[in-house]
């Protein structure tokens, strides 16, 4: 039998590390672990304080978070805008808080000196900046398209197809960045349809038109004839009375539309030749309503035509104050016309 030590036998004493040396190594390891924990805790405290303290943004601004942007891109956008100083810290804390999927896209108003926490909460709330575009009453569809194409905050390609006349409702529309021109145009069409549905059901009886197209056509004439809300029912009554009597409407704006097609102003006063030249829209040469609407009437004009004032007026002319003088007879109307001509003459002499 061999005299060599068996595998399970302890190594000779001289080959084992001294007990004191092993304890020193353990203490060093524990110290390092403790220092690491202290450092980690300190770093965490520093990071959390930085996350909550006021940020570097000197004045209010807006930032646009693109659709589909991830946490890294969002942090980059905020850093580039000067909202946050440490994009890496923003990413870490938002990730730890498990809010990275709650951040929303859009255009946001960011107040000066907002903290990283405040910026995160703004993006989570998702309350975006609202823009608006005001479409004046009485614009033609061509003019409305030009207006929308010129709005820089709307996105998408320029509108090239002009909607039918009288199918859009002039109004102030609010939208968010990212909305397209086509979307806003669709909202105008929907608003027009809703207005017609609301007003048509409660219309007065025995009106001298049979369908909504004729109603909108007459409303567009009223819209172009007066800019005073108080006058619209009276102007509507004049045309309703004329239609009932079978008289020519003799509306200058219809003649102008027949010449321009709604693509901008005429650029000069109507001539006798233009008044006498037949077009589908010339109400001096054609009886009844013109071929179709000559503009997009607003809600008030649509309402005035289905609820016209009770009157016997058949004529009106400008009175020099921004309104009109109304008359029941041609003789009275001619006197009002003469007064208007005197006012025009005085204005020219004053210039």
172-216 pLDDT, tens per residue? 999 998 899 999 999 999 999 999 999 999 999 999 998 999 999
- Residue 34 belongs to a domain: no
* Ramachandran quadrant class, 338 (left: phi over 0; alpha: psi -120 to 50; beta: rest): alpha
Instruction: Verify that 91 and 144 share a domain, yes or no.
Output: no
Predicted pLDDT of residue 178: 86
- What is the H or E stretch that residue 318 is in? strand 315-318
- Residue 162 belongs to a domain: yes
Widest CA span in the chain: 150
In this structure, the number of other CB atoms found within 10 A of the CB of residue 150 comes to 11
pLDDT at 2 over 50: no
pLDDT in tens, 143-154: 999 999 999 999
Predicted pLDDT of residue 5: 47
Asked whether 110 and 83 are in contact (CB, 8 A), the reply is: yes
Measure the CA–CA gap between 233 and 218, rounded to whole angstroms.
12
Could you tell me which residues come within 8 angstroms of residue 93 by beta carbon, excluding any fewer than 6 positions away? 47, 48, 51, 116
Instruction: Verify that 121 and 136 share a domain, yes or no.
Output: no
CA nearest neighbour of 129 among 116, 148, 115, 110: 110
pLDDT at 304 over 90: yes
Q: How far is CA 263 from CA 172, 184, 202, 221, 266, in A?
A: 22, 21, 34, 16, 9
Predicted pLDDT of residue 46: 83
pLDDT in tens, 213-236: 999 999 999 999 998 999 999 999
Last residue of some domain: 75, 101, 125?
125
Measure the CA–CA gap between 200 and 190, rounded to whole angstroms.
15
- Residue 27 belongs to a domain: no
Q: How far is CA 297 from CA 169, 288, 305, in A?
A: 7, 19, 11
- Residue 110 belongs to a domain: yes
Q: What is the CATH number of the domain that holds 325?
A: 3.30.160.60
Dihedral of alpha carbons 191, 323, 220, 261, sign: negative
pLDDT confidence band for 16 (50 / 70 / 90): low
Instruction: Verify that 107 and 136 share a domain, yes or no.
Output: no
pLDDT at 17 over 90: no
Query: Which residues, in sequence order, are bridge partners of residue 108?
Result: 63
Last residue of some domain: 145, 167, 193?
193
- Domain limits at 189? 132-193
Using alpha carbons only, how large is the chain's radius of gyration in Å? 38
Instruction: Verify that 136 and 166 share a domain, yes or no.
Output: yes
Predicted pLDDT of residue 1: 42
pLDDT at 141 over 60: yes
Instruction: Verify that 139 and 91 share a domain, yes or no.
Output: no
Domains contained in the chain, number: 3
Measure the CA–CA gap between 87 and 1, rounded to whole angstroms.
74
Instruction: Verify that 145 and 121 share a domain, yes or no.
Output: no
Please name the residue that has the structure tokens 């020099």: 320
- Residue 52 belongs to a domain: no
Asked whether 174 and 128 are in contact (CB, 8 A), the reply is: no
Measure the CA–CA gap between 83 and 56, rounded to whole angstroms.
6
Mean pLDDT across the stretch 314-334?
A: 93
pTM for the full predicted model: 0.78
Predicted pLDDT of residue 47: 81
Instruction: Verify that 138 and 118 share a domain, yes or no.
Output: no
Predicted pLDDT of residue 3: 46
- Residue 147 belongs to a domain: yes
48 or 351, higher pLDDT: 48
CA nearest neighbour of 103 among 90, 88, 113: 90
- Residue 291 belongs to a domain: no
Instruction: Verify that 65 and 121 share a domain, yes or no.
Output: yes
Please name the residue that has the structure tokens 């006012």: 343
Could you tell me which residues come within 8 angstroms of residue 138 by beta carbon, excluding any fewer than 6 positions away? 170, 220, 223, 224, 227, 295, 296, 297, 298
pLDDT at 4 over 60: no
pLDDT at 22 over 90: no
Last residue of some domain: 165, 193, 221?
193
Cα 42 to the chain's mean position, in Å? 48
Measure the CA–CA gap between 14 and 132, rounded to whole angstroms.
89
Mean pLDDT across the stretch 113-139?
A: 95
């Amino acid at each position: 039998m061999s005299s060599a030590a068996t595998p399970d036998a302890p190594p000779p004493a001289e080959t084992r590390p001294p007990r004191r040396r092993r304890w020193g190594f353990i203490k060093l390891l524990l110290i390092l672990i403790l220092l690491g924990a202290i450092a980690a805790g300190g770093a965490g405290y520093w990071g959390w304080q930085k996350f909550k303290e006021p940020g570097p943004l000197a004045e209010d601004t807006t930032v646009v978070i693109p659709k589909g942007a991830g946490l890294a891109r969002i942090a980059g956008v905020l850093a580039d805008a000067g909202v946050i100083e440490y994009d890496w810290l923003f990413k870490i804390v938002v990730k730890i808080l498990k809010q990275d999927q709650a951040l929303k896209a859009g255009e946001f108003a960011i107040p000066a000196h907002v903290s990283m926490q405040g910026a995160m909460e703004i993006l989570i709330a998702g309350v975006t900046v609202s823009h608006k575009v005001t479409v004046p009453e009485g614009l033609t569809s061509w003019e409305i398209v030009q207006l929308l194409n010129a709005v820089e905050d709307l996105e998408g390609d320029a509108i090239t197809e002009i909607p039918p006349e009288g199918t859009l409702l002039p109004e102030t529309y609010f939208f968010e960045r990212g909305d397209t021109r086509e979307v806003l145009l669709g909202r105008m069409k929907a608003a027009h349809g809703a207005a017609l549905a609301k007003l048509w059901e409660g219309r007065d009886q025995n009106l001298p038109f049979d369908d909504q197209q004729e109603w909108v056509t007459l409303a567009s004439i009223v819209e172009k004839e007066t800019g005073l809300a108080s006058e619209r029912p009276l102007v509507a009554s004049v045309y309703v009375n004329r239609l009932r009597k079978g008289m020519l409407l003799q509306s200058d704006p219809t003649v102008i539309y027949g010449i321009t097609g709604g693509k901008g102003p005429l650029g000069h006063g109507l001539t006798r030749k233009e008044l006498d030249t037949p077009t589908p829209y010339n109400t001096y040469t054609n009886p009844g309503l013109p071929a179709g609407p000559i503009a997009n009437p607003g809600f008030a004009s649509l309402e005035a035509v289905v609820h016209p004032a009770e009157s016997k007026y058949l004529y009106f002319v400008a009175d020099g104050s921004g309104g009109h003088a109304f008359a029941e007879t041609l003789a009275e109307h001619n006197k009002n016309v003469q007064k208007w001509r005197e006012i025009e003459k005085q204005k020219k002499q004053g210039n």
